[in-house]
Structure 1
Amino acid sequence: MGAMCQYLISGVALLLLLQGQMASAQASEAGLRVAFVYNFLKFIEWPERTGDDLYLCVLGATDVTRESLSQINNKSNQKATIRVLFLDNASDVEPQMGRCHLVYVPTTGADLPLPAALPRGVILVMDEPDQQDGRVAIALNRTREDRIEFQINEPAVKQAGVKVSSQLLKLAKKQVGGAR
């Protein structure tokens, strides 16, 4: 009976350890994706922006992604103070879109509807987007090697009327809509 109990306790401990590692991996990936988004804000210029605030609108963020994004709310970069707006319902999206400068759609928000055409001055960043969605200016994708990389869709950037730093363009792994 003692050996059986030890075996059961070891199994439960192993299961808890694996769950902790999986949660840690999810937190690390969510944090990495949010770090990408935060840095995109530094390397994009909104010529038509007025005021000291830069609005990052996030569709359907949950758990660790939401926690990571909350850490950059009210943070100042050299250009402005970042204001994170969480849009959790379909009814929130359309009315708030005019306030947004960058819209981030993590995989948990992919089911929330976006307008067919984004307002001028709004950049769309999306996790694992449909490659045919021409509204997506920056796509965050997982590679076969399990790394997170980003692509820039230059026609979507041009449509938005913003300027992306040449440094950011150079870092993009594969540019969509433009030669490299």
Structure 2
Amino acid sequence: MRRPFLHNALLLLTGLCGPAWLPLNAQTRAVPEYMMKASYLYNFMVFAEWPASTDGPSPPEGLLLCVLGQDNFGQALNDLEGKTVNGRRLSVSRLNGLTHVRKCQLLFVTEQEAPNMQAILKHLADAPVLTVADTPVAAGAAILLSLDGKRLIFDVNMQRTKKVGITLSSKVLQLARSTH
């Protein structure tokens, strides 16, 4: 069983050291599901390291967060556009197909696209893309978000992160419900 300090650390991760784009008054009241998910995606990027590569998926000065499929985030992701992640400018892209997924650093696979997860992973191969999904149908994603009552929790697929060369901070791994 996880110690209580881990739950408090998760609140700290998503609230205080989380995105500066979330107004303070919004941090003190209930946060809509997709606003919280956007906060998690931002923090996953903050606490992830991609392999160094001169021919990587994007210019070294930028990071690309992509959504594949029907976007339910709305303004929550728009507010992340242009924010800084570890000294790099964050851009957000909404994708309707696999053509540009290898250019993303983080790829959120929506529920609509989740049944295609194996084809998505095959297309990505070992490209350094952190895959995140929010439905169990998306087996194989590096991070799986899910609701536990009113709490947002996540599981980390260490095999996937290692395969693509992405290192997640121990802070993220301690907050995960499970790592496998």
User: Residues 74 and 111 from structure 1, CA distance in 2 versus in 1: closer, same or farther, beyond 3 angstroms?
Assistant: farther
Query: Residue 76 of structure 1 aligns with which residue?
Result: 84
- 1:66 CA displacement: 2.5
Of the candidates 40, 45, 48, which is equivalent to residue 44 of structure 1? 48
Consecutive unaligned residues of structure 1, counting only runs of 5 or more, are 1-24
**Aligned 8 A contact 1:142 1:148 in 2:** yes
Q: What TM-score, normalized by structure 2, do the two folds share? A: 0.71
Distance in 1 (CA, whole Å) between partners of 2:78 and 2:90 is 11
For residues 115-130 of structure 1, the aligned pairs below 5 Å read 115-117=120-122, 118-119=124-125, 120-130=127-137
Give the alignment's Cα RMSD to 1 decimal: 2.2
Q: Percent identity?
A: 30
Superposed CA offset, 1:105-133 (max 9, x none): 233554666524224201100012326x2
Distance in 1 (CA, whole Å) between partners of 2:111 and 2:75 is 15
Structure showing greater radius of gyration is 1
Distance in 1 (CA, whole Å) between partners of 2:167 and 2:48 is 6
Q: What TM-score, normalized by structure 1, do the two folds share? A: 0.71
For residues 49-60 of structure 1, the aligned pairs below 5 Å read 49=56, 50-60=59-69
User: Residues 129 and 46 from structure 1, CA distance in 2 versus in 1: closer, same or farther, beyond 3 angstroms?
Assistant: same
**Aligned 8 A contact 1:150 1:173 in 2:** yes
Give the partner amino acid of 2:146: N
User: In proportion to residue count, which structure has more helix?
Assistant: 1
Superposed CA offset, 1:3-51 (max 9, x none): xxxxxxxxxxxxxxxxxxxxxx8x7111001100010000000123551
Query: Residue 19 of structure 1 aligns with which residue?
Result: none
Say whether residues 1:86 and 2:91 are aligned partners. no
Query: Residue 139 of structure 1 aligns with which residue?
Result: 144
Distance in 2 (CA, whole Å) between partners of 1:79 and 1:164 is 17
Consecutive unaligned residues of structure 2, counting only runs of 5 or more, are 1-29
Of the candidates 41, 57, 66, which is equivalent to residue 74 of structure 2? 66
Q: How many residues align?
A: 143
Give the partner amino acid of 2:80: I
